[in-house]
Amino acid sequence: MIWFFLGLFFSWFAAIAVLFFPNKKLRRNFQSRRNPRPAANWHKRVGVHCPYCGTRVVIDDIPGNWSCPDCGETFTYSTDGQAYKIRRSQIDPPVMWMVKMFARLAKADGVVTENEVRQVDQIVRQGFRPSEDQLQRIMDLFNESRYSDEPITAIARQLYLSVGGRRDILGDALTALFAIAAADGRLHPQEGAVLATAANIFGMENEYEAIKARFFSRSAESGTSAEADLDACYRLLGASGNESDELIKKKYRRLIRENHPDRLVSRGASEESIRRANQKVAEIKQAYERIMATRA
The number of helices, as runs of H, and strands, as runs of E, in the chain is 14, 5
120 & 189 share domain: yes
How much is the pLDDT for 136? Answer: 87
For residues 253-264, one letter each, b for 16 or more C-beta atoms within 10 angstroms of the residue's C-beta and e for the rest, the string is: eebeeebebeeb
Any domain includes 18: no
- Asked if residue 256 and residue 170 are part of one domain, the reply reads no
- For the chain, how many structural domains are there in total? 3
Residues 143 and 185 in one domain: yes
Q: Both 211 and 232 in a single domain?
A: no
Query: Is 25 part of a structural domain of the chain?
Result: no
* Domain final residue pick, 34, 58, 85: 85
Is 128 strand, coil or helix? helix
Query: Closest by alpha carbon to 193, among 179, 208, 215?
Result: 208
Boundaries of domain holding 283: 227-296
Domain boundary among 225, 244, 270: 225
210 and 93, same structural domain? yes
Indicate whether 120 belongs to any domain.
Answer: yes
The number of angstroms, rounded, from the C-alpha of 264 to the middle of its chain's C-alpha atoms is 23
List CB contacts of 10: < 8 A, sequence separation 6 or more.
none
Please report the pLDDT score of residue 2 as a whole number.
Answer: 63
Nearest to 211 by CA among 293, 123, 108, 283: 283
For residue 57, give the nearest of 80, 34, 74, 39 by alpha carbon. 74
212/185 same-domain check: yes
Q: How far apart are the first and last CA of the chain?
A: 106
- Tell me which amino acid residue 103 is: A
Could you count the other beta carbons within 10 Å of the beta carbon of residue 129? 9
With beta carbons less than 8 A apart as the criterion, state whether 160 and 201 touch: yes
Please tell me the chain's helix, strand, coil percentages from 3-state DSSP, rounded to the nearest 5: 65, 5, 30
For the beta carbon of residue 161, count every other beta carbon within 10 angstroms.
12
CATH of the domain at 200: 1.10.3680
β-strand partners of 65: 76
In-domain check, residue 16: no
Same domain, 57 and 92: no
Given a contact cutoff of 8 angstroms between Cβ atoms, the answer to whether 236 and 283 are in contact is yes
The 10 Å Cβ neighbour count of residue 178 is: 26
pTM: 0.49
Query: Which among 225, 256, 273 is the end of a domain?
Result: 225
Instruction: Say if residue 166 is in the same domain as residue 215.
Output: yes
232 and 221 belong to one structural domain: no
Same domain? 66 vs 118: no
39 in any annotated domain: no
Domain shared by 192 and 149, yes or no: yes
pLDDT at 52: 85
The reply to whether 93 and 219 lie within a common domain is yes
Ranges under pLDDT 70 in the chain: 1-43, 79, 86-89, 217-229, 264, 269, 296
Specify the pLDDT at position 1.
Answer: 60
Kindly state whether residue 214 falls inside one of the protein's structural domains: yes
210 to each of 151, 155, 204, 260, how far by Cα in Å?
A: 26, 23, 10, 22
